[in-house]
Chains A and B, each alone.
Chain A
């Protein structure tokens, strides 16, 4: 797809081009939004706000980078804004160290499907979930996460370690359960 021409057409206000751009990226971006939220309704809200921002700021796209990466970045920012704005997430975005989950350095084999893994990530508390997504999936450093969320680098680092540990324990449990079910199902 010729993104260059597509963006130019969108900037001209052509609705067909805007729809084409949306159709091309919407599914993947909904996956991004889904990871940061707790429900599909919220994910679609974020997707909607994100695409509105994309079209309103499309003139800022410099064509030197990937359009998909640029849109993904906007989606992530929109998702974080969404979490900060809505009270059901705000109360759990306090990155306090009062609750300590054990840290482990396990590196389990991720035998889960994409959607199963996404569901487990979404089961993490919002603070853990956000930091895990930003670091493990988006690739932000803890310094950057600290700046984005207004927390210390060390807090981000320790929260991530605990989130990772919690997720790994769930993955192990989930895998074990699946194995048992598979064994029971076997004649």
Chain B
């Protein structure tokens, strides 16, 4: 591992615990819906309410999410894992215990790799385990009382725990972004951080290089990448100040306040509960046969790293292009659809990374709202390739397409849409040499000085001729053809 960046002479050590909400239709141990945003307590069934006599039954789809993540991160999928009860009292925890996994989790080991600037980083995972979410306590909505909404109770979660392998807030955020990309890529989590589908807790400590690990404080519920970085930076500064002032760090759980940009302790180790974990007698051990793992593997979507390698291999893209295009699954798919349809792989890559991304950023929209279908972009690219239009003129067409709505899914008439636009805008390149020659002759006649200089050996004088020719052709002249004809006439 490379030498860690130091902050005021201290090494920063960060480990992550991420709760990813699984994209299953129903809850982890009941048949109630997991849809977000319903009226309070309308999506909680008898099991979620912990009514007497109810029992948990494992949701197979949640297990498959865990298997997918394990496969994506190169983890060991435990053939036998055990559900345990974490016992504590809280009004939004209906059973008085949370069903989780303790001693034997379903996903063990694995790693997440990502680029931090030019440096490749690898964060090792300890484990990922299945568990149920609690409900929500609504403290603001009632005066003198708290409301309890159990819609979220029993929502399936995977808690993904890393080794303390990160050494800066930038690295921590890069890790979180990479993990976010992977869980959304494989479809096990919708990644919606505002709705709490992807919640990160960061364990932060500092130490002098070579010293034993410092006492950590856990920052809870970081629900945006921006806050994540701010919170860690604040926490690191705060811890160093404490130590420099001769105070010891107390192990604690802290919350980040985005308003003040500060972290604040909510409980210290002294009031740490004894959760009295023990295997849940209502659930037999979770047994995952090798055949199940193989079936999930065979049905799994291609992972970003494998896809990038394939883009390099099959489309001859530079590694940078392949890595950029596989930052998100929709973008990779859009590129691939475009490349396949036009056959011009590098041009397609340039366009998706360039003009398409630029316009998306400018309009602040996602791939799902993209107004230009892959088929239309491909048609446009093929018109560049066959020299019907120049690359610059194509940008005009693209702009027009962006503002024209239409059938974006199946678009058999893409080529005619493009051709109509080229015609309407008069952007067709002047590939007919007789018309071009006429313009060139007129320009040569009008610029005898340039002709003279060129003939005298000043090659730069040619540029003074190309400009007026392109202008006279209203940009439709093919620059390569202009050059060739000029040289011929002056040669």
Are A and B a genuine interacting pair, yes or no? no
